Every structure is written in structure tokens, then in C-alpha cells.
């Protein structure tokens, strides 16, 4: 799933990724998503907690309004390098 960082705790993604999701893990700073890397920061989001939202007019058949928002469990910030890092991350 591709995401776009839009605020310290919010990412924008596709509605087809959020529509049926109960939980989402956002991985920031990944170069190889399938491998653990020292640059990676993982954040959880839960639909039950209202942290996963799909556009109310999303239509899968027509691929209309294919937008979703994910509110991460903790904020991210840019650390001045090419990736994001947590505000309280201890490597």
C-alpha cells in the first residue's frame, strides 16, 4: 500500500486499502518493506478506535473517491534526513 504523509500523525492512502481493514501498520522510512531496517518506524492504526477512515462516497466498482485516511498511534516527524522518525524514538 502506498501512503502519503500529510501531517505528524496522519497519512493519506487509497480507500480500497482502508475499506475492509481492521488494523493497519504504517511503516515509515522503509527502503525494503519486507526487511527490518534501522530507518524503519512502525505505527499502528485501528478502525475500532476510529483511526482508519474511508471516503464516505468511495465506490469500488467505479473506483471513485478512492481515498482513505490513517491516524497513526504516535506522531512522526522529519528528522532532517531522507526519512521520517518518531518524536520519541530510541534506536
Give residue 87's pLDDT band: very low, low, confident or very high (50, 70, 90): very low
Domain 4-86 has CATH 3.40.50.300: no
Residues belonging to the chain: 91
**For residues 17 and 25, what is the distance between their CA atoms, to the nearest angstrom?**
12
The structural domains of the chain, with segments of one domain joined by +, span 4-86
**For residues 58 and 42, what is the distance between their CA atoms, to the nearest angstrom?**
27
Write out pLDDT tens, residues 18-61. 999 999 988 877 777 778 887 788 889 999 999 999 999 999 99
DSSP letter for 70, please. Answer: E
Q: Any idea which of 8-22, 51-65, 68-82 has the lowest mean pLDDT?
A: 68-82
Beta strand 4-7 with 10-13 is antiparallel
Is residue 30 classed as helix, strand or coil in its secondary structure?
coil
Amino acid at each position: 500500500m502506498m501512503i502519503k504523509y500529510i501531517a505528524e500523525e496522519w497519512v493519506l492512502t487509497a480507500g480500497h486499502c482502508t475499506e475492509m481493514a481492521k488494523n493497519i501498520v504504517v511503516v515509515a522510512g522503509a527502503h525494503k518493506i519486507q526487511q527490518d531496517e534501522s530507518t524503519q518506524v512502525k505505527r499502528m492504526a485501528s478502525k475500532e478506535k476510529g483511526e482508519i477512515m474511508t471516503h464516505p462516497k468511495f465506490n469500488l466498482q467505479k473506483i471513485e473517491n478512492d481515498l482513505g485516511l490513517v491516524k497513526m498511534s504516535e506522531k512522526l516527524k522529519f528528522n532532517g534526513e531522507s526519512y521520517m522518525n518518531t518524536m520519541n524514538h530510541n534506536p
